[in-house]
Amino acid sequence: MLEAAAGKRLWVEKIYPPWLPLILAMGLVWRRRWWRFLVGGLNRPVIFLFLFAWNFKDTAAGVAYLQFLIPGLVVMAAVTASYSDLVNWFTLRRTFYRVLDEYLLAPLSINSLLAGHVLGGGGKGLVIALLVYLVSWVMTGGFCLSFLFLLQLAVIAFTFASLAVAMAMVAGGDKDVLMFTNLIVFPMTFFCGTFFPVERLPGVLGKLSWFLPLTAGTYNLRALALGGINHWSWFGESLAWLAGFYLLAYLLLNWRRQD
């Protein structure tokens, strides 16, 4: 009987990957509160878009400033939606509701647990970022939308979803999450070429910005949006950051299981 149950489980896993129920569970939560996530994800980028569209007519990096800004706003929307909701969701369920303990005791691999949350959180960030891109395209036009653009945007979203899981594994509560977000993640959305070129940053700050995990992805996404040109070095660097954060989240999840 145990052999039959094990065989049935293997058959089910061949059809449905074990991380799929985690994505569906997150989707059910977002479906009930879709308006809250939609308004929260679009609020800040659209406000920035209208303010800068009305008040700035300068150029940056050889293009109109609004054209330069919009890919940065898309990146900011992807980072915020992928990271903020997932890190808060995961931290509360680990420290208060103790749901993570049930996940770790379930017959579910660490990789499946991580993949489900990263795909769910990053997928939500990707959807919000594409909505921001659509609103911007309606207002201004003149942008390219290609498979490589979508791929680069997905890499950014999954990178910060992985960072969210890693942060949730070490945070002692929502105050730790808030401190890390305010000190690291939120400033990163301003110093990685989203609102102005990093070349305009003074001295060593401009050089250090190229070592942040968001800069290469932002510059490559802007190049793809404005000219349809993909810089493989920037794309490779953003892929390396995704792999690094995913590995870090995996190791921390495994550490929590053994703790």
Considering the domain boundaries, does residue 145 fall inside one? yes
Range in 12-21, 54-63, 91-100, 247-256 with the lowest mean pLDDT:
54-63
Containing 64, the helix (H) or strand (E) segment is strand 63-64
**Can you list the alpha helix ranges (DSSP code H) found in 56-202?**
65-95, 99-105, 110-139, 147-170, 174-180, 186-188
Residue 112 contacts residue 17 (beta carbons within 8 Å): yes
Considering the domain boundaries, does residue 12 fall inside one? no
Burial of 53 (0-12, 13-18, 19+ CB in 10 A): middle
Considering the domain boundaries, does residue 11 fall inside one? no
* Number of independent structural domains in the chain: 1
Considering the domain boundaries, does residue 13 fall inside one? no
Considering the domain boundaries, does residue 7 fall inside one? no
Q: Which of left, alpha, beta for 128 (phi over 0: left; psi -120 to 50: alpha)?
A: alpha
pLDDT tens for each residue of 87-133: 887 787 777 767 777 777 777 788 888 888 899 889 988 988 998 88
Considering the domain boundaries, does residue 82 fall inside one? yes
Residue numbers of the domain that contains 162: 34-258
Using DSSP's 3-state secondary structure scheme, residue 79 falls into: helix
Considering the domain boundaries, does residue 245 fall inside one? yes
pLDDT tens for each residue of 142-200: 788 899 999 999 999 999 999 999 998 888 777 888 888 888 888 888 888 888 888 88
Query: Which pTM does this prediction carry?
Result: 0.84
Considering the domain boundaries, does residue 26 fall inside one? no
**Would you place residue 1 in the very low, low, confident or very high pLDDT band (cuts 50, 70, 90)?**
very low
